[in-house]
Amino acid sequence: MGDVIGLLAFGSAGWSDELLAGAAVTIALALATLPFSLGLGLAVALLKRSDRKLSAAVGHAYTTVFRGLPELLTLLMIYYGAPLVVQAILKAVGVGARVEPNAFFAGVLALSLVSAAFTSEVFLSAFNGISRGQWEGAYALGLNRRRTLGLVILPQLVRLSLPGLSNSWLVLLKDTSLVSIIALEDLLRATNLAVGATKQPFLFYTSACCLYLMMTGASALVLRRIETRAERPYIRSPA
Amino acid sequence: MNLELLERYGPRMLDGLSVTAMLVVASLFFGALFSLPVVLARVEGGRFLRAIAGAYIQFFRGTPILAQLFLVYYGAGQFRVGLEEAGLWWLFRDAWFCALLAFTLNTAAYQAQILSGAIANVPRGQWEAARSLGLHTPAIYWRVVLPQALMVALRPYGNEVVLMIKASAVASVVTVFDLMGVTRLAFSRSFDFEVYFWAAGLYLLLTEGVRLVWGAMERRLTRHLAPAGAREMGGAPTAAARTPVTAAGEGRR
C-alpha cells in the first residue's frame, strides 16, 4: 500500500505530476479542436442544406467519409500525409525543404475533421427544428439572408443543438487518447511512460481511466448546467 | 495504382479485413449477451444492483476504448502469477483475446444503455395493461415490452455496429493484425502512402455497407409504424388503420 502511495505521489518519486501534465495536454488538445469542429461543422451543415445540388453533395460526401473512417486511420493519414502535401506545395513554389510531421497539429486537424462530421449532423437536425415561420418573419421584417441567419436563426440553433454538441464534446475528449499513438504526450502517453518505468500497468491504467472519468464527468455536469440555462426562457412558469 | 504493392500486400489486407470483421462480430455478439444481465440489474434490480450496473456503464462510456484496451492487455500482466495458477494466462497473453475482451466489455456498456433506455421509453400503460391481463413478468417482457423496445433500439444498435467497426482499429496498437494493423505494417515497410487509401476504401465499404443494410432492415421492420400516407398513396389514414393486413402487405412505395 505504501508503494502505491509513493508511486502516485507528486514530485520526482511519484508520477502524479506527469499524469496531470498529460491530462493538461489532453484538455488543451480538445479545447484547441473545439472551435474548428464547431465552425467546420456549421459550414458543412449549411452546405448540406444548400439548394445547389453540387454543394449539398459535397456536404454529404464529407460526412460519409469522416463518419465512416476509423478515427485512428484519419489521424495516421493526416500525420503521415500532411507533411507530404506541404512538401509538394513547397516544391511547386521552388522551396525544397523537408517537412517533419507535427503531432499536435496533426491531432487538432484530424480530430477537427472527424468531430465536424458529427457536429454537422447535430446542426442539420437543429436547423430542421426551426420552423419556416422564423425565416419568413425575418424576411418580412426586411432582414437579408445573412442577417436572418446571424440574428434570428443562430441564437435558436445554439439552444437546439446543445444536447448533441455536448455529446460530441464527450466523444472528442475520449478520442484525444488516440494521439498517444503518434507520440504526443497526452494523459494516455504519460501513463504508458509511467508503466514502462514502474512495471505497474494495472495501477496506472486504472488511474488514467479515473482521470478520464473525472474529465468526462465534470464536462457532463457543466454542459448540463449550460443546457438548463439555455432552456430557461422556454420553460413556462407555473401558473 | 501501384500494382506491385497491391500484389504484395493486397491479400494480407483482405486477411486483415476478415480479422476486423471477426473481432467486431464476436465483440458485438458477446457484448449483447453480457448487456442483458446489466439491463436486468438496471431496470429490475434493487438499489445496490442498480448502482453497480450504473457504475459499470458509466466507467466504460466515460473512458477511451484505447485506455480500456491497455488496461486489459497490459494490466493483466500484473496478475500473471494468479492467472497462471488459474490456467488463464495463455488467454491473456494473446492480444486478439484481450482486444475481444476489452471490446466486449465496452460495447456491452453501450448496448445496455441503449436497451435500458428503450425499455424506459415503453409507455407505462403497456405494462399496466399487460399486468391487468394477468401476464407474468417474463411474458410481459417477451410478448409486450421487448418487441416495442427493440423497435426503438434498432437505430442506435445500428450506430453501435458502425462505431464498433471504427473503434476496432485500435486493436492494431496492441499488435493485432486487423485491417489497420496490416495497413500500418505495409506502410512502415513500403513508405507508400497508397496503402492508407486502400484501407480507407475498405473501411468505408464496411461501414457504409452496414449502414445501408441496417437502414433497409429498419424500414422493413418498422413499416407498420410508417405514416399511413406512405403505405397507401392518398388513402385515408382511417381506412389504413382499419385494414392493417392489406396495408402492411403493400409495403412502402
The average pLDDT across A221-227 equals 93
Burial of A238: CB neighbours in 10 Å, binned 0-12, 13-18, 19+: exposed
| pLDDT at site B149 | 92
Q: Which residues of A touch B81 (CB under 8 A)?
A: none
Q: Quick one: cell of A160?
A: 437546439
- What does pLDDT average to over chain B? 86
Q: Which phi and psi (to 5°) does residue B175 adopt?
A: 70, 20
The residue type of B170 is V
Residue B152 CA to residue B32 CA, distance in Å, equals 16
How far does A60 lie from chain B, in Å, by closest CA? 13
If contacts are CB pairs under 8 Å, which of residues 113-132 in chain A contact chain B? none
Between the ranges A1-5, A155-159, B30-34, where is the mean pLDDT highest? B30-34
A184, A32 contact by CB (below 8 A): no
Cβ–Cβ gap A178/B170 under 8 Å = yes
Q: Residue B246's pLDDT band (boundaries 50, 70, 90)?
A: very low
B102, B69 contact by CB (below 8 A): yes
| pLDDT at site A8 | 72
| pLDDT at site A238 | 64
- Residue B241: pLDDT over 70: no
Residue B148 CA to residue B95 CA, distance in Å, equals 39
| pLDDT at site A62 | 95
Alpha helix (H) residue ranges in B3-145: 3-44, 47-62, 65-73, 80-85, 89-92, 95-121, 124-132, 137-139
| pLDDT at site B134 | 93
pLDDT in tens, B36-48: 999 999 988 889 9
Length of chain B counted residue by residue: 253
- Residue B70: pLDDT over 90: yes
Looking at this predicted complex, what is its ipTM? 0.89
- With a CB cutoff of 8 Å and minimum separation 6, the contacts of B75 are A201, A202, A205, A206
| pLDDT at site B83 | 86
**Chain B contact for A196 (CB, 8 A cutoff):** no
C-alpha atoms less than 13 angstroms from C-alpha of A237 in its C-beta half-sphere: 1
If contacts are CB pairs under 8 Å, which of residues 113-172 in chain B contact chain A? 162, 165-170, 172
A108, A29 contact by CB (below 8 A): yes
Which site among A19, A60, A65, A76 would you substitute to test the B interface, given the most B Cβ atoms closer than 10 Å to its Cβ? A76
Q: Quick one: cell of B142?
A: 417477451
- With a CB cutoff of 8 Å and minimum separation 6, the contacts of A74 are A66, A110, A113, A114
Q: What is the pTM of this model?
A: 0.88
| pLDDT at site B204 | 95
Q: Comparing B4 with A220, which gets the higher pLDDT?
A: A220
Q: Quick one: cell of A200?
A: 505497474
**Chain B contact for A88 (CB, 8 A cutoff):** no
The residue type of B27 is S
Q: Quick one: cell of B135?
A: 401476464
pLDDT in tens, A48-89: 998 899 999 999 999 999 999 999 999 999 999 988 888 888
Q: Comparing A235 with A168, which gets the higher pLDDT?
A: A168
**Grid-cell match 493485432, residue found:** B176
Residue A199 CA to residue B6 CA, distance in Å, equals 41
Q: How far apart are the first and last CA of chain A?
A: 59
Q: Residue A91's pLDDT band (boundaries 50, 70, 90)?
A: confident
If contacts are CB pairs under 8 Å, which of residues 45-64 in chain B contact chain A? 58-59, 62-64
